[in-house]
Amino acid sequence: MKKLLFSLATLIVMSTPALATPPGANLKINGDITPPTCTVNAGDNDIIIDYGVISPSFIPAEENYALGAKSANIKISCDASNYLTLKVSDTYKTSSTDSAKISVFGLVNAKNTEQEIGGYIIDVIDIKVDNKRAYLGRVADKIWTGSSATIFKDTLTALTSEPQAQVDKNNLKLIAGKVFNAKIQIGAYNESRYAYILSRKKLAQNNIDLTDGIDYIGEAVFTFNFGV
């Protein structure tokens, strides 16, 4: 941490017949230029979405099974006002052929992460910066733009004063603050394209047998930064 110290000394000399000590004043200015210290959910960095137990008999033979909508809150608190940007990466793979595949994150077999189980889309909604309404701005040149609330994998995204689904990074309308609140939503709509388990047919093609049940996992890593 470097400190900037600027001193301004003023000496005022007055000519008087008396041997008085002239008054003086020292103006000192200091401050720190340093990245802010921030915490996520008061230090609990793992945000858990739990879909609970699903009976294998619920999984259709030919169509993907819709997991439905789930959400969790996130709060980022910093000791100094700053601009917040982020990128989200997928720990696991997905073979989604959806036109919006850049936004589809993978669900895999917990015991063999090479086996795909399904996928999900992440939306970040109800955003507030210092208790003021905010949105996501996405630096994207992709064919599918979609809602600005939807997370694109490995894409620079910022908290902005208005929705920006597709914009050059120099045109992001960044909004500064110390406290950032939002809701992370999985499967925004109760449709199979938003959060799903693959059909029995596709699972069988991945050598997955549901007879004895299976545990599945997904992991999206949010990396936060300050500014662009």
Position 59: which residue type?
I
pLDDT of 12 > 70? The answer is no
pLDDT of residue 28: 85
pLDDT of 105 > 90? The answer is yes
Classify residue 164: in a domain, yes or no: yes
What are the tens digits of pLDDT across the range 178-192?
999 999 999 888 788
Task: Give the span between the Cα atoms of 156 and 140, in whole angstroms.
Answer: 8
Range scoring the smallest mean pLDDT among 5-19, 25-39, 132-146: 5-19
Length of the chain: 228
Mean pLDDT of 129-140: 94
pLDDT of 72 > 70? The answer is yes
Domain that includes residue 134, residue range? 66-104+118-186+218-224
pTM for the full predicted model = 0.83
pLDDT of 143 > 70? The answer is no
Mean pLDDT of 61-83: 94
DSSP-based three-state secondary structure for 73: strand
Classify residue 200: in a domain, yes or no: no
| Distance, CA of 71 to chain centre | 14
Mean pLDDT of 156-173: 93
pLDDT of 6 > 50? The answer is no
Classify residue 142: in a domain, yes or no: yes
pLDDT of 1 > 50? The answer is no
Classify residue 52: in a domain, yes or no: no
Range scoring the smallest mean pLDDT among 9-13, 65-69, 150-154: 9-13
Mean pLDDT of 196-202: 94
Classify residue 55: in a domain, yes or no: no
Task: Give the span between the Cα atoms of 18 and 15, in whole angstroms.
Answer: 9
Classify residue 136: in a domain, yes or no: yes
Provide the pLDDT confidence category of residue 85 given band limits of 50, 70 and 90.
Answer: very high
Classify residue 94: in a domain, yes or no: yes
* Mean pLDDT score of the chain: 86
Classify residue 60: in a domain, yes or no: no
Task: Give the span between the Cα atoms of 120 and 163, in whole angstroms.
Answer: 22
Percentage above 90 pLDDT, the chain: 60
**Total tally of structural domains belonging to the chain:** 1
Q: Is the dihedral of CA 179, 173, 165, 167 positive or negative?
A: negative
pLDDT of residue 2: 35
pLDDT of residue 9: 40
We report the CATH number of the domain holding residue 70 as 2.60.120
